[in-house]
Every structure is written in C-alpha cells, then in structure tokens.
Amino acid sequence: MESLWQFLPLALLIAAAIAALLVLFRFERRVRLAIEDRARRTIRRGSDASPVSNSSEGW
C-alpha cells in the first residue's frame, strides 16, 4: 500500500496538467470564435478594418 502513495503526487500533477490543457483549449476556441465573429460583422458593415487602405488615391 505504501508504494501506491508514492505515485499520488505524480498522478495529481498529471491530472492538473490535463485539466489546464482542457481549459486552455476551450479558452483558445472561444477567443478564436469571437475574433471570427467580429471580423464577419466588420466585413458585413463594409468598413475596412485593416491598416492598409484599399483606395487607389495617389496612383
């Protein structure tokens, strides 16, 4: 029974790492979806969100 207790910290560390990865991927997906939604709304509005103007002035 003593040999099982020595693996407890390692098991807790692995479980914490897996939980952290799941939270990170969920957060990354939420941020990516929000950015795509904002880009879709910006394009639909017709405004140019990029810093480079697409006008032909000066040419």
Mean pLDDT, the chain, rounded, equals 80
Helices (H), the chain: 2-5, 8-45
- What is the count of structural domains for the chain? 1
- Comparison of pLDDT for 56 and 29, the residue scoring more: 29
Cβ burial 27-59 (10 Å sphere, 16+ → b, else e): eeeeeeeeeeeeeeeeeeeeeeeeeeeeeeeee
Q: Is 19 part of a structural domain of the chain?
A: yes
Residue 12 in any domain: the answer is yes
Q: Is residue 39 part of a domain?
A: yes
Cα 28 to chain centroid distance, Å, stands at 1
Dump pLDDT digits (tens) for 17-33: 999 999 999 999 999 99
Q: Domain range holding 27?
A: 7-44
The model's pTM is 0.51
55 found inside a domain: no
30 within domain boundaries: yes
pLDDT of residue 24: 93
Q: What is the pLDDT of residue 47?
A: 52
Quick one: average pLDDT of 25-42? 89
Residue 11 lies in a domain: yes
